[in-house]
């Protein structure tokens, strides 16, 4: 799979989306969901995979985590490293993590799994480096949502492999029982309808899995 995030122009414009009104709303909803999952976590050490420009790294630091952050995109990492963050940034491939077995208590990855070549291998690597009883936190883009059904219109998402809840569960169930949390409901006009009557599939799926 071509890594669109190796494009310098995309890396440079990535964070600007979160300055738009829609971007701010989506960011708030997603962070509320992920924050709830992490609220009672028993460790402050975290491995973040697919950290990109450090957008989520910054959030994880704000809520108290010490982070090792890995990404395959050099342009994205260069932006992340310029931010005033304490995280240890590493250039690496999530399909071959440079860590020993059972190293971390928490692994988090937000909207990365859609962009890897081998999703099964990445999930295996995530659980390999997790300690028994450790927590995997995923943020996924829903294949059944309006965003998923129109992804060919987006240069960023065109070649990505979105997953629906059943597909996510199939990937995770060998390692632990996943719990699902949903948000960012969009109608056909891409208007966010969270907090109102829902007649659409959620675009964002937050998933919590404890390693067995």
Spatial contact of 110 and 82, defined as CB atoms under 8 Å apart: no
- How far the first Cα of the chain sits from its last, in Å, is 31
Q: Per-residue pLDDT tens for 3-62? A: 656 666 777 788 899 999 999 999 999 999 999 999 989 899 999 999 999 999 999 999
Domain boundaries, the chain: 4-210
pLDDT at res. 175: 99
Considering the chain, what is the average pLDDT of its residues? Answer: 94
Rounded distance, CA 153 to CA 146, Å? 11
Q: What is the pTM of this model?
A: 0.93
Rounded distance, CA 93 to CA 95, Å? 5
pLDDT at res. 5: 60
The pair of three-digit structure tokens given for residue 173, joined into one six-digit string:
């169930």
Q: Is the per-residue pLDDT at 137 higher than 90?
A: yes
Question: Hunting for tokens 């697919």 — which residue is that?
Answer: 50
CATH top class, domain 4-210: alpha beta
Q: Is the per-residue pLDDT at 2 higher than 50?
A: no
Which alpha helices (H) appear in the chain, and where do they start and end?
8-14, 21-38, 55-62, 74-81, 119-129, 146-149, 165-172
The pair of three-digit structure tokens given for residue 111, joined into one six-digit string:
């909207």
C-alpha separations of 12 from 9, 52, 78, 125 in Å: 5, 11, 10, 29
Kindly state the helix (H) or strand (E) to which residue 185 belongs, with its residue range. Answer: strand 178-185
Percent of the chain topping pLDDT 90: 84
Which alpha helices (H) appear in 71-150, and where do they start and end?
74-81, 119-129, 146-149
Count CB atoms within 10 A of the CB of residue 212: 11
pLDDT at res. 197: 56
C-alpha separations of 90 from 47, 54, 79, 108, 116 in Å: 11, 12, 13, 15, 17
Percent of the chain topping pLDDT 70: 93
C-alpha separations of 51 from 47, 91, 198 in Å: 10, 10, 31
Position 141 confidence tier, pLDDT thresholds 50, 70, 90: very high
Spatial contact of 116 and 86, defined as CB atoms under 8 Å apart: no
């Amino acid at each position: 799979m071509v890594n669109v995030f190796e494009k310098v122009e995309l890396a440079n414009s990535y964070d600007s989306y979160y300055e738009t009104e829609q971007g701010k709303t989506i960011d708030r909803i997603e962070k509320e969901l992920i924050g709830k999952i992490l609220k009672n976590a028993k460790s402050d050490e975290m491995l973040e995979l697919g950290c990109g420009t450090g957008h989520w790294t910054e959030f994880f630091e704000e809520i108290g985590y010490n982070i090792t952050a890995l990404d395959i995109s050099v342009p994205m990492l260069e932006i992340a490293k310029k931010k005033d963050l304490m995280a240890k940034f590493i250039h690496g491939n999530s399909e071959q993590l440079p860590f020993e077995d059972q190293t971390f208590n928490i692994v988090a990855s937000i909207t990365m799994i859609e962009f890897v070549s081998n999703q099964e291998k990445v999930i295996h690597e995530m659980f390999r480096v997790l300690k028994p009883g450790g927590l995997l936190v995923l943020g996924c883009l829903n294949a059944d949502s309006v965003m998923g059904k129109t992804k060919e219109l987006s240069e960023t998402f065109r070649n990505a492999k979105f997953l629906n809840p059943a597909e996510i569960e199939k990937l995770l169930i060998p390692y632990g029982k996943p719990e699902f949390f949903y948000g960012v409901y969009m109608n056909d006009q891409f208007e966010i309808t969270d907090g109102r009557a829902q007649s659409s599939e959620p675009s964002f799926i937050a998933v919590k899995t404890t390693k067995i």
